[in-house]
Amino acid sequence: EAGVAQSPRYKIIEKRQSVAFWCNPISGHATLYWYQQILGQGPKLLIQFQNNGVVDDSQLPKDRFSAERLKGVDSTLKIQPAKLEDSAVYLCASSLYNSLGTSYEQYFGPGTRLTVT
Amino acid sequence: ILNVEQSPQSLHVQEGDSTNFTCSFPSSNFYALHWYRWETAKSPEALFVMTLNGDEKKKGRISATLNTKEGYSYLYIKGSQPEDSATYLCALNTGTASKLTFGTGTRLQVTL
């Protein structure tokens, strides 16, 4: 079974530029997550989708970050414009349907390492 | 804000040593605790999902225990090998849309 795919693996941009990351989850996984992992910190959830609907985006900086999951499969995360503090690894994960009180394993992609200069 | 703490922050052991790490969390409103292993340049890999007080799980040389009443989980590695070198993350699911809150991880380095 193919795992979670992400691209690109690495990206270097200058501040104020825009960048987009792509994620293809495991087939059949209804729930998709985007995490931001800043060096020295644990991954922080940015946004969670259930099929193509947003479940939680409370920690997404909406003035510069946006995400979509058209057709409930692939997802893109965009940053526009980027700031120095956005330098991090952006992880995508997917899982089976997650209802309240259910905790399925989340399967992660390899991440995109973003450096903003 | 839910605070999940892991200790130590980093650990350096010799091949063959046994070691353990701690994950601490508020003991209330708890659904499950997850352990992940994250090797450099690879995807984080799920190790265990633990839900019951007193739960103990094992996968090869790695095992984990959970104490929900006192709010901690231990991860044990018996006879560490260089391939065990990775960052070990724990994450708590409090049930709010099954959101995971991660600790900062324990970075393990195993040398020959």
- A88-95 and A31-37 strand pairing: antiparallel
Q: What is the pLDDT of residues A25-67, one digit of tens each?
A: 999 898 999 999 999 999 999 999 988 899 899 999 999 999 9
Q: What is the pLDDT of residues B56-108, one digit of tens each?
A: 999 999 999 999 888 899 999 999 999 999 999 999 987 666 778 999 999 99
| B5: β partners | B24
The share of chain A scoring above pLDDT 70, in percent, equals 93
pLDDT at position A100 is 58
Q: Choose the closest CB to B103 out of A42, A99, A105.
A: A42
**Contact state of B43 with A4 under an 8 Å Cβ cutoff:** yes
Instruction: Name residues 64-93 of chain B within 8 A of A (Cβ).
Output: 89, 91, 93
pLDDT at position A1 is 63
- B72-77 and A107-108 strand pairing: unpaired
pLDDT at position A2 is 80
Distance from C-alpha of B96 to C-alpha of B83, rounded to nearest angstrom: 35
**Contact state of B98 with A43 under an 8 Å Cβ cutoff:** no
* pLDDT band (50, 70, 90) for residue B26: confident
Q: Which residues contact A16 (CB under 8 A, 6 or more apart)?
A: A81, A82
pLDDT at position A104 is 74
pLDDT higher than threshold 70 for residue A98: no
**Contact state of A42 with B104 under an 8 Å Cβ cutoff:** yes
Q: Choose the closest CB to A103 out of B32, B44, B103.
A: B32
Structural contact between residues A56 and B98, judged by C-beta atoms closer than 8 angstroms = no
Distance from C-alpha of A94 to C-alpha of A9, rounded to nearest angstrom: 18
- Which residues of chain A does B41 touch, with a Cβ-Cβ cutoff of 8 Å? 110
CA distances from A15 to A65, A80, B87 (A): 14, 10, 29
Residue of chain A with shortest Cα separation from B48: A105
B41 Cα to chain A: minimum distance (Å): 7
Structural contact between residues B77 and B18, judged by C-beta atoms closer than 8 angstroms = yes
User: What type of residue is B94?
Assistant: T
* pLDDT band (50, 70, 90) for residue A92: very high
* pLDDT band (50, 70, 90) for residue B51: confident
